[in-house]
Structure 1
C-alpha cells in the first residue's frame, strides 16, 4: 500500500512539517487560497505527500459545509477516497515523462486546456506539477501565462528542490512554502508507531535517512534499498584505491541509468560529508552510522582538505547534470577528482 493511501484517520497524517501545515490550515480557515503555491525542499522529505494532502483537502466534501474546503481532509468522503486512489477527475498531476529530459510545452498546454474547463465534481481544478524545475524554457514561459491570468477555480501546486531552480517571473507569482529536514527522533518515532518497525532497526533507518522521511519509508517498504545503499557505499569506499580504468568502468556503469544517478550522487555526497566530519573527529555526527569504522580509517588517510574538496566536486557534478551535461562525461570527471590512496 502506498504512503498516500495508508492512513484513513481524519487529518493530514504527515510526520513533521508543522509550520507548513499550520500555514495551509490558516489559509483554509479564512478561505483565502492562493492560485499557485511552490513547495520546496530536498528530495524524499515529504513534498509530494504534503501537496497531495493539500489537494485532497481542497477537494474534500466531508467538512461542516460540503461547499467549503475544511482545514484538514476527512479521508472518508467520496472525493477524498478518489484522491487517495488517484482517480479524482479534478486533480491533475504533471511530471516529466520517463522518456524525456524535461516537462515539455505540450504538457503545459494540456494543463491550460484542462484548466479552462468546468470542474467535473469538485469546487476546484487542482493541478500538481511535480518537479517544476524540470520544465524546459518553453514550458516555463507557457506556464507563466497561466499564472498571470489564472482561472478563478484553478489552484496550481508546484514542487522543486530549490526555488532558485525556477524562473524569477514564476517565483513572483506563487506563494513559496519551504519544507525542512526532520530530526532522527521524529523519523524513528514515526517508524515505530505507524510502520511497527522495531526500535533497533528504526534507529538505524532514522539515522541513515538524514532527515528524509520519504527515504525512511522506502527503506522499510523495500528491503533492497538498504542492500543497494551498502553496495554503492562499498564501491565508493574502494574508489581511492583503484586506478583510472576501473574508475571509468564504474562511471560507465552508473551513467547507464540516469534516473538513478542523482540518487547515487546524493548518497556519495552524504558519504563525503561524513568523511569531513570524521576528519574533524566528529564521528558521532555522521549519517552512515553502520560504516563509521570505514569512515574513521579512510578519513585518517585522505584528510579533511581532500574530503571537503570532494564535497564541492560532487555538488558541481550534480549542478552540471541539472544543466544537462553528458552524464558519463560528468561522472568521469568526478572519478578523476576522487583522491588516490597508495596501496603499496
Structure 2
C-alpha cells in the first residue's frame, strides 16, 4: 500500500516521511487512531515506504553515495520496485505481522503465522476493518482473540535474525490491546532492539495497552477523518453517487468503516 492509497491524513503522512528523510525514525512507534481512521493502512504504507528501494521521483534530489540514508527520498514509495510489490502483497520477508488470533486446535497456543493467509486476504479486502470484522472473518464465533506468550517468543526470535532484503526489520502489531501481561516478554527487545529494527504498534485505545509498552513508544496520533475526506473516498474508491456519498459521510463521524457499512446496508435495502 502507498500513502496515496490511504484516505486523508496528510499531516501524519508528512510527519512520517520527515522522520525518514531527516533520520529521526524511532525504533518503536504507536499509531493511535480510533476505528475507521486508517491507522492500519498508514502503518502498511509506512512500512512499504521504508523498504522501498526507489522512494524518490524526478522532483526530488537524487542522493549521493555519501548522503544520509533518508536524504533524497520522495514522499511516497514507488509502488513498482520488487520490495514494494512484495510489501503490497504482505509477503515482504522483512515486514512481519502480529494480530489477535484464536486457537485452531485444542491445546495449541495460536500464533499469527497460523493465520497469515487469512490476514492477507482480510487486509486486501477490508483494510479499514476492526477486530470484530477480523475475528468474524476467521470464524472465531464466540472465541476471544489474543496475542499469546508464544507469539511474543516468536517475535523475539524473528527480530533477532538478520534482515533478508531490506535494511530494516519491521514488526506491525495490530491491536496490542489484546496483548496481556505476556507482552512483558517483549520489553527487553523494545528497550534494546537489534540494529535497524522497527516496531509499529497500531491501536485504538491506549488505556488498554500495557503501560510498560506504552511508555516505550513514540506516539503518532491519527485523527478521525473529515466528512469531506470520507465523501471523496466513497466517490473515488467506492464509485458512490455524489449526493449519497455526502449523506453517508455526514453521519459516519469520521469512521470510514462505518461509512462502508452504511453503504452496504443501503444497497441491501435497495435490492431487497
TM-score by length of 1: 0.58
Where 1:82 maps in the other structure, the secondary structure is helix
Kept after mapping to 2: 8 A contact 1:129/1:159: yes
Residue 184 in structure 1 maps to residue 188 in structure 2: no
The two structures, once aligned, show a CA RMSD in angstroms of: 2.3
Going from structure 1 to structure 2, the CA distance change for 1:160 and 1:217 (only over 3 Å counts) comes to: same
1:219: how far off? 5.3
Residue 85 in structure 1 maps to residue 89 in structure 2: yes
Kept after mapping to 1: 8 A contact 2:3/2:46: no
Q: 2:157 and 2:11 mapped to 1: Cα distance?
A: 34
Residue 13 in structure 1 maps to residue 5 in structure 2: yes
Residue 25 in structure 1 maps to residue 68 in structure 2: no
Q: 1:172 and 1:115 mapped to 2: Cα distance?
A: 20
Kept after mapping to 1: 8 A contact 2:180/2:210: no
TM-score by length of 2: 0.73
1:207: how far off? 2.7
Where 1:28 maps in the other structure, the secondary structure is helix
| Larger Rg computed on CA atoms | 1
Which of these residues, 177, 191, 209, is aligned with residue 133 of structure 1? Answer: 177
- Partner of residue 271, structure 1: none
- How is 1:113-152 mapped onto 2 (pairs within 5 angstroms)? 113-138=157-182, 140-152=183-195
Going from structure 1 to structure 2, the CA distance change for 1:41 and 1:28 (only over 3 Å counts) comes to: same
- Partner of residue 51, structure 1: 43
Which of these residues, 160, 166, 178, is aligned with residue 203 of structure 2? Answer: 160
1:105: how far off? 1.1
1:118: how far off? 0.8
Q: Unpaired runs of 5+ in structure 1?
A: 5-9, 229-344
Q: Deviations 1:80-135 (Å, cap 9, x if unpaired)?
A: 11111111111101001134532111111111101111111111110000001110
Q: 2:159 and 2:258 mapped to 1: Cα distance?
A: 33
Aligned residues: 217
1:192: how far off? 1.5
Q: 2:77 and 2:262 mapped to 1: Cα distance?
A: 27
Where 2:92 maps in the other structure, the secondary structure is coil
1:14: how far off? 2.1
Going from structure 1 to structure 2, the CA distance change for 1:61 and 1:225 (only over 3 Å counts) comes to: farther
- Partner of residue 266, structure 1: none
Where 2:76 maps in the other structure, the secondary structure is coil
Q: Deviations 1:268-297 (Å, cap 9, x if unpaired)?
A: xxxxxxxxxxxxxxxxxxxxxxxxxxxxxx
- Which has a greater percent of helix? 1
1:11: how far off? 4.7
- Partner of residue 238, structure 1: none
Residue 103 in structure 1 maps to residue 147 in structure 2: yes
